[in-house]
Amino acid sequence: MRTGTETVRLGAAMDGGGRLPRPPRLLVIANPLAGTGAGRRLLTATLELLRANGCQLLIAEARTPEEIGAIAGGTGPEDADIVVAAGGDGTINAAASGLIAAASPLPLGVLAVGTANVLALEMGLTRHPQSLAEPILYGQVRPVTPIAAAGGYALLMVGVGFDAAVVAALADRPQMKWRLGKLAYLQPTLAQAFRYGFPPIDLLIDGQPARAVAAIAVNGRFYGGAFRAVPDGDINRPGMNVVLLGRGGAINLARYGVALGLGRLARLGDVRVVPARSVEILAPRGLSVQADGDPIATTPTRIRVADRSLNLLWPMMPRR
C-alpha cells in the first residue's frame, strides 16, 4: 500500500467559497487488517482511480483505533485537504473520532473496503471503485453528528446486550474477520445465543427509566448490514433512536433477527424505538458495550448526542 505515494504540502483545506480543491490532496489512512483479499483489491483499484483523476496520495498504515485516531487528529490543513479512512466501520469510526476530538475542519472521505460497511449503506455507496471514489472527486460536504460514548464517538450505533457480547467474543480474534469476512460473526453468534444469559438492563433515557434485555442506539437507519432497524432514521439529522428489545433467549433472538431482516423489527410488540439525546446504562455492572463493531466500555456508562459534528464527504446524489 506504500507504493506510488507522494509527499504533499498543502494550503487551506477549503477555499473561500467552502469548496474543496479539485483535484483534492488526500491523506489515506489504511488499516491492513481490515477486510478480506477482495477488500484490498477494491482499495487498490479505487486508489488507482483517484490517482488517475489527479489526486495526490499520501498513504499511512495504522492497525489500532488509537493509531488511526492519532493520525487523523494530527492532520492539519498544511498536510492534506481530505482525510480518507480506508477499511471497515471500525477504521472509519476511529478516524472520525480523531478528527472530532481535535476539532479538525478537514472533511472525512470514506473508502469502505472492510468487513462491515454500514456507513457506506447509509451513504448509498456500493463496493465498486467508481462509487467509492465519487464522493471524493465530485461530492459534497455534509455535517454528521455522532454519538459520544466512553473514550470516543460512534458514527453509527452503540449497543449493549447480546450484540456487544458477540463483538467482545470476536475482538480477541481479529484474524478471523480478515480471513472470513462477515462469516467470522457466525461462530460467536451461535455460541453466545446459548451461552449469554440475557440479563435485564436498566437504563435512563433522557431521564426516564427503561428496562430491556438489549439496547441499541442507532444514529441512522441501518444496523448490522443492510437491515433497517429504524426505517425513518436519518444520519444527517442530529439525534439517535434507542431500539429496546424486551425478551431474551435463543427463540426470541431468532424472531428479532427475522424481523430485522424483513425491516419490521420496530413493528414487534415487545420492541420499542425511543428518540433520545442521552442514555445512561446503569445495571447490571460489567456488561460489554460496543460502538460501530468494536468494544468500547463496560457498564455502567453514558452515551449522548455529541456537541460536535464531523464534515463527511457524500455523493452528490445520495441513494435512499
Asked whether residue 104 carries a pLDDT value surpassing 50, the answer given is yes
Do 70 and 137 fall into the same domain? yes
Per-residue pLDDT, 168: 87
Q: What pLDDT is stored for residue 16 in this prediction?
A: 34
10 vs 79: CA distance, rounded Å: 6
Say what the pLDDT of residue 36 is: 65
Contact in structure between 303 and 216 (CB atoms under 8 Å): no
- Can you read off the three cell numbers belonging to residue 102? 481535535
pLDDT the model gives residue 179: 61
Same domain, residue pair 108 and 243: no
d(CA 256, CA 243): 12
Instruction: Annotate 170-205 with DSSP letters as a single string.
Output: HHT-HHHHHHHGGGGGHHHHHHHHHH-----EEEEE
Q: pLDDT tier at 316 (50, 70, 90 boundaries)?
A: confident
In-domain check, residue 10: no
Q: Quote the pTM value.
A: 0.83
pLDDT(13) > 90: no
Q: Which grid coordinates are listed for 11?
A: 494550503
Shared-domain flag, residues 164 and 140: no
Element (H, E) at 272: strand 271-276
Tell me: pLDDT of 12 over 50. Answer: no
* pLDDT mean over 146-165: 92
72 in any annotated domain? yes
Residues 63 and 119 in one domain: yes
Best-predicted range by mean pLDDT among 115-129, 243-257, 304-318? 243-257
Helices within the chain (DSSP H only): 37-52, 65-73, 89-101, 118-123, 129-138, 162-171, 174-180, 186-195, 250-261
Q: List, for residues 177-230, the tens digit of each pLDDT value.
A: 656 566 667 777 888 888 899 999 999 999 999 999 999 999 999 998 889 999
Distance CA 263, CA 228 (A): 5
Query: Are residues 138 and 157 both part of a single domain?
Result: no
In angstroms, the CA 271 to CA 143 distance is: 30
What is the C-alpha to C-alpha distance for residues 266 and 228, in angstroms, rounded to an integer? 9
Q: Taking phi first (over 0 means left), then psi (-120 to 50 degrees means alpha), and beta for anything else, what does residue 198 get? A: left
Strands in 147-149's sheet, in edge-to-edge order, are 152-154, 147-149, 301-305, 278-283, 201-205, 208-212
Residues 44 and 105 in one domain: yes
pLDDT at 133: 95
The answer to the question of residue 2 being in a domain is no
Which of these ranges, 120-134, 154-168, 180-194, has the smallest mean pLDDT?
180-194
CA atoms within 13 A on the CB side of 319: 9
Question: What CATH number did the domain enclosing 301 receive?
Answer: 2.60.200.40
Q: What is the pLDDT of residues 223-262, one digit of tens each?
A: 988 899 998 999 999 999 999 999 999 999 999 999 999 9
Same domain, 77 and 132: yes
Looking at the fold, whether 277 and 240 belong to one and the same domain comes out as yes
Domain tally for the chain? Answer: 2
Q: Is 36 part of a structural domain of the chain?
A: yes
Measured CA to CA, the distance from residue 266 to residue 277 in angstroms comes to 19
pLDDT on residue 171: 76
At position 287, the amino acid (one-letter code) is: L
pLDDT value at residue 120: 92
- d(CA 126, CA 226) in angstroms, rounded, equals 12
Residue 9 lies in a domain: no
Read off the C-alpha cell for 218: 442507532
In the predicted model, what is the mean pLDDT of the chain?
Answer: 86
CA atoms within 13 A on the CB side of 139: 25
Q: Is residue 266 part of a domain?
A: yes
pLDDT, residue 225, reads 82
Distance separating alpha carbons of residues 156 and 162, to the nearest angstrom: 17
Kindly state whether residues 283 and 158 are assigned to the same domain.
yes
> Residues 152, 158, 161, 164: is their CA dihedral positive or negative?
negative
Instruction: Report d(CA 53, CA 59) in Å as an integer.
Output: 17
| Residue 5: inside a domain | no
| One domain, residues 165 and 140 | no
* Per-residue confidence (pLDDT) for residue 114, from 0 to 100: 82
Q: How far apart are CA 23 and CA 178, in angstroms?
A: 32
- Cβ–Cβ under 8 Å, residues 26 and 58: yes
User: Domain limits at 275?
Assistant: 152-305
Using pLDDT thresholds of 50, 70 and 90, give the confidence band for residue 20: low
- What's the CATH number where 104 sits? 3.40.50.10330
- Position 7 in a domain: no
Can you give the pLDDT at residue 226?
84
Query: pLDDT tens digits for 65-82?
Result: 899 999 999 998 889 999
Residues 128 and 214 grouped into a single domain: no
Is 51 in the same domain as 177? no
Q: What is the mean pLDDT of residues 81-104?
A: 92
Q: Which three cell numbers stand for residue 17?
A: 467559497
Supply the pLDDT for residue 310: 93
